[in-house]
Amino acid sequence: MQTKTGIPASPGIAIARAIILDSEEYAIPHRCIDPDVVPAEIDRTKRAFDEAIRELAELESQQSGLGKIEIRDLFAVHRHFLQDKSLRNKVIDLISTESLTAECAMGRVFDDVHQHFLKTQNRYISERAADITDIRKKLLKHLIDFKQASLESLDHEAIVVAKDLRPTQTALFDPRFVKGITCDAGGKTSHASIIARALGIPAVTALQDLTGTVRRGTQIIVDGNAGIVIIDPDAETVAEFRAAAESIATLHQSLEAIRHEPAITRDHAPITLLANIEFPEETDHVLQFGADGVGLFRTEFLYLQSGVEPSEQVHYEAYAKIIQAMQGRPVTIRTMDLGADKFTQSHRFTPETNPFLGLRSIRFSLKHRDMFVAQLRAILRASVLGPVKIMFPMITTFKELTLAHEVLNSARSDLTTEGISFAADIPVGIMIETPSAALMSHRLAGHADFFSIGTNDLTQYTLAVDRGNAQVAGLFSAAEPAVLKLIKATINGAQTAGIEVSLCGEMASEPKYTMLLLGLGLRTLSLTPKMIPDIKQIIRSVTLAECEQLAGAALEADSAEQVLESLIKKARTILPEFFK
Ligand code: PEP
Ligand code: MG
């Protein structure tokens, strides 16, 4: 039995056997073969193509059944590519003429295609280069019978042990079978962790070299609350963690009763609890957990899920689906927050030394105006279906806000000219995610209808700690007094100007921070839908006076450790069952 400590990325306890997910490139030896094995290599090649085509067709119908049309279309594009006989023939020719192994011949052919796609001036074709890598991996998987890497066909409970996970990869996990996630890399607020929380899968990240330590089939305990992973536990430890998992389940069951009760403090202050979502399919969850609306729709997943850039109509349909499902509750649509760890098809090959300080978020949108306009038109069109708010991400300077407003106004006047209707009074707000914006919030407030504080990025930019880097994950804490002071400055800026302010970073989903956030002055939080009942229970158990006292002390503290100690100490006296 061995215990490893990482970062608690998604709460809950899971016990199951490990499945290792290799996200590395497969190493293909450059090897020649005897001429008499050439026919066998050609057979292997044909089989791999056929199996990959069959697998893609199955994935297409699965995704179609789930109503995930963009993902289905991506798989269809890959299948058509593999069905093209000239590609298969090129591989076969290389095997016969140069006596190469099937893996080696395939690698060569795919490298050529990849290079060709990358170099082309045509943006649509260059966008396909990433797909070539994906298709190649799928073929190689069949060729080398790398079945253990496949999760799409998982039909039993397992803990995924991965080096790193892409957000889109995590989004495809089926929570019926993927019971827990461990990652060598990543941080608490990396986007793969956010998806794990949305799916309700316990996860621990930043485990350094767990993939090197664990073998497929080893029993593992993932404790996503404490951030620990136990490898090959003894019977006593398994029993202890099973009991802890049961007590968490009992606690959640007891919260069923308050799901549709108001979130109101003991001294009668009403708090609005909104939901953060990444996919239109999540609205069932949002309603089920009793959210008052959607406070953050991360629209960039529309770009990341699909092999093609979403059209205005694809945007529109996603927004319409959410707005209609929310039945009159407000829906805040954040314009695309692409770049950094959320690349889009056409731009992932532009290397940046510091992508989080690079062309991301609103900067990306302002540079790719055609994409931005398509999205804004779709939001405006959908605004006639129900209450919508538009939110610009990562506004850092006044100038960016002015430029974003200009693009929005021009989209409005185009629609008016075209005779297309949209709501006249859509609130337009901004995310406060950089120290610059927080310090200028009193001025920005004059040009925004609301603020939403993005503490994931605000923490990363204030502390100079990459939110997805496992090596510095221990330094990432929203409880650092510097971050708290910027949150406070933003709340003050909003209150002085009389505009709404909420907080939608992961901090809002963490029970230990609820009292602090209320005490700092927040009355609206936007969080992972699943955590709404827990946070509501805390709100219903405290008074604003207690919260304000705690927040006052936190603002005067020297360190995150001091802040956390006092938060947890106080929370334990009020709700011991939450803070064991
Ligand atoms: C944030 O930065 O806190 C936020 C909510 O945005 P995202 O996590 O999508 O960057
Ligand atoms: Mg952010």
Q: Which residue has the higher pLDDT, 578 or 50?
A: 50
Q: Which of 78, 191, 315, 368 is catalytic?
A: 191
pLDDT bracket for residue 24 (50, 70, 90): very low
Q: Is the pLDDT of residue 23 over 60?
A: no
Per-residue confidence band for 129, with pLDDT thresholds at 50, 70 and 90:
low
- Contacts of residue 553, defined as CB under 8 A and 6 or more positions apart, other chains included, come to 566
**Ligand 2 center from residue 323 Cα (angstroms):** 22
Which helix (H) or strand (E) segment is 7 a member of?
A: strand 7-10
Scanning 99-227, the segments in alpha helix (DSSP H) are 102-119, 123-127, 129-143, 167-171, 191-199, 210-213
CA atoms lying within 13 Å on the CB side of residue 195:
25
Q: Which of 382-386, 413-417, 447-451, 472-476 has the lowest mean pLDDT?
A: 472-476
The predicted-structure confidence for 330-372, as pLDDT tens digits, reads as follows 999 999 999 887 766 566 556 788 889 999 999 999 999 999 9
pLDDT band at 309; cut points 50, 70, 90: confident
* CATH class of the domain defined by 2-28+151-252: alpha beta
Say what the pLDDT of residue 113 is. Answer: 83
Q: What angle do CA 170, 172, 175 make, to 5 degrees?
A: 85
Kind of pairing between the strands at 272-277 and 524-527: parallel
Four-point Cα dihedral 210, 152, 319, 528, nearest 10: -30
Q: Tell me which residues have their CB closer than 6 angstroms to ligand 1.
A: 189, 296, 298, 337, 433, 454-457, 504-505
- What mean pLDDT comes out for the span 112-121? 75
Q: Is the pLDDT of residue 28 over 70?
A: no
What would the mean pLDDT of 386-397 be, rounded to a whole number?
98
Distance of CA 39 to the CA centre of its chain: 46
Residue 149 confidence (pLDDT): 42
Cα 197 from Cα 220, distance rounded (Å) = 19
Quote the mean pLDDT of the chain. Answer: 89
Residue 67 vs residue 451, higher pLDDT: 451
Q: Which atom of ligand 1 is nearest to the CA of 507?
A: 3
**Structure confidence at residue 230 (pLDDT):** 96
Class of domain 35-147 as given by CATH: mainly alpha
Q: Which of 279, 335, 504, 525 to mutate to test the pocket of ligand 1 (most atoms within 8 A of CB)?
A: 504
* Domains 2-28+151-252 and 35-147 alike in fold: no
| Interval 152-166 mean pLDDT | 81
What would the mean pLDDT of 8-25 be, rounded to a whole number?
81
Distance 237 CA to ligand 1 centre (A): 36
Q: Is the pLDDT reported for residue 196 higher than 50?
A: yes
Domain parsing of the chain, residue ranges: 2-28+151-252, 35-147, 263-578
Query: What is the model's pLDDT at position 25?
Result: 41
Of 227 and 150, the structure prediction assigns the larger pLDDT to 227
Q: How far apart are CA 264 and CA 377, in angstroms?
A: 37
By mean pLDDT, which of 185-199, 201-215, 373-387, 414-428 is the weakest? 185-199
What integer pLDDT is reported at residue 146 of this predicted model?
45
One-letter amino acid identity for 302?
Answer: L
Distance separating alpha carbons of residues 522 and 503, to the nearest angstrom: 8
Total-model pTM: 0.76
Note if 30 is an active site residue: no
Calculate the alpha carbon distances from 294 to 111, 275, 276, 310, 432 in Å: 44, 5, 6, 21, 18
Which CATH number applies to 263-578: 3.40.640.10, 3.20.20.60, 3.90.226.10, 3.40.309.10?
3.20.20.60
**Active-site annotation holds for 191:** yes
| Residue bearing the CA closest to ligand 1, atom 3 | 454
